[in-house]
Amino acid sequence: MMKKLLLTMLLTANLLSGAYAWDLWEDFRAVSMEGGRVVDYSDQRAVTTSEGQSYAMFFALVANDKQTFEDLLIWTEDNLAAGDIGKNYPAWLWGKEGDTWKIIDDNNAVDSDMWIAYCLLEAGRLWNKPEYTEKAHQMLALLRTQVRDIENLGKVLLPGRIGFETETEVKLNPSYYPLFLIKRFAVEDAYWNEVFEGSARMLIRSAPAGVSPDWVNFTKKGELVENMSIDNTIGSYNAIRVYLWAAMLSPKDPVYRQLKARFEPMVRLTEALNMPPEKVDVNTLAVNQPAWDGFGACLMELVGPGKTRDMIRTVLKSTPIKKENYYRNVLALYGLGFDEKLFAFDENGYLYFPKAAAK
């Protein structure tokens, strides 16, 4: 078993050096980055988020773009994490207020923290950079402090260190839990296997009608709270990523099949509109209108082969990267990159490159 794992790791590292050029990443880097930061130009403050930094680190990793990866890491550490990402959670929001560039909100976003830790683990492995691996281990230790063990639900990460927990409830964001990241963490520390199980259980229980909400509340007893706020009754700009991450989980994992079956109602809504709905009532499944193509990028894999996927793919490929479309752009990179087999995740969460392997 150990020999097989070592062989797989060596093969993956070799494949990365021959990875295909990723034109979409080059376009994104050209229009959306200033130095080592990703800029969201849709916000008049020209903000940078820890989310944007973490996503770009992943794209740079897939593209074997070592210099941009390093630039992103340095900028993130220096500007969002007080110089040490292993000791300090990166602030989620940085931008211009008045005449000053600064941290606007110093709360963290745990999904971004997870993506950064993952990218550091895989960059350390694939590029033989032990300093990245060490930073990742430090981040994992920091992340463990935000895990809560919820009775009848299991271990789950709070979305951020401030504002998501009371004496009786936790508030969670289902789109914050790409399960393949947690699988990879469990290779380093078996503790994360329980977090994987709790997170998978949360994803399924938070979508009883087959549509994920943007936010969900659970009691400390693990009961789903009937919260009628719009955050908890609508699935939209946050929740759309749930389907993207679910489709990227290895089909060898039994949870993949469970999630695919649970989200079949969202697949049917997408097929009816030829694009995912922008907003869905998670209780009644009432929809408002078809969303833009970035949402489509998140459902391509779950929808499967056919005219809906073909239409989404065509629209995505024919729409250029524009600097004011940050969120659409990153979803397109994930969706098309996965669809084109530029990257995938195995049952242990390791990153690999199917298209390069087929050369």
pLDDT tens digit sequence for 71-85: 999 999 999 999 999
Note the pLDDT of residue 20. 59
51 part of the active site: yes
DSSP string for residues in 259-291: HHHHTHHHHHHHHHHTS-BS-EETTT--B--B-
Q: Which residues contact 282 (CB under 8 A, 6 or more apart)?
A: 207, 209, 211, 212, 213, 232, 233, 234, 235
Closest C-alpha to 56, from 84, 88, 86, 22: 22
Tokens of 315: 């629209």
Tokens of 88: 């300090």
100-105, strands of its sheet edge to edge: 48-49, 93-97, 100-105
Give CA–CA dist 195/177, Å, rounded: 10
3-state secondary structure 151-204: CCCEEEECCCCCCCECCCEEEECHHHCCHHHHHHHHHHCCHHHHHHHHHHHHHH
Residue 352 contacts residue 78 (beta carbons within 8 Å) = no
Note the pLDDT of residue 87. 97
DSSP string for residues in 66-130: HHHHHHHHHHHHHHHSTT-TTTSPPPSEEEEETTEEEEEE----HHHHHHHHHHHHHHHHHTT-H
Residue 297 amino acid letter = A
| Residue of 40, 71, 111, 293 marked catalytic | 111
pLDDT in tens, the chain (359 residues): 444 444 444 444 444 444 457 999 999 999 999 999 999 999 999 999 999 999 999 999 999 999 999 999 999 999 999 999 999 999 999 999 999 999 999 999 999 999 999 999 999 999 999 999 999 999 999 999 999 999 999 999 999 999 999 999 999 999 999 999 999 999 999 999 999 999 999 999 999 999 999 999 999 999 999 888 888 999 999 999 999 999 999 999 999 999 999 999 999 999 999 999 999 999 999 999 999 999 999 999 999 999 999 999 999 999 999 999 999 999 999 999 999 999 999 999 999 999 988 87
The β-bridge relationship of strands 280-281 and 234-235 is antiparallel
Tokens of 207: 């979508």
Note the pLDDT of residue 4. 47
pLDDT tens digit sequence for 238-263: 999 999 999 999 999 999 999 999 99
Q: How many helices (H) and strands (E) does the chain have?
A: 16, 13
Closest C-alpha to 303, from 333, 335, 337: 335
Residue 94 contacts residue 36 (beta carbons within 8 Å) = no
Note the pLDDT of residue 357. 86
Note the pLDDT of residue 14. 43
Q: Where are the domains of the chain?
A: 2-357
| Residue of 40, 51, 214, 278 marked catalytic | 51
Q: What is the CATH number of domain 2-357?
A: 1.50.10.10
Note the pLDDT of residue 18. 40
- Alpha-carbon distances of 54 from 58, 117, 216, rounded to whole Å: 6, 9, 24
Residue recorded with tokens 């195995």? 346
Give CA–CA dist 354/359, Å, rounded: 9
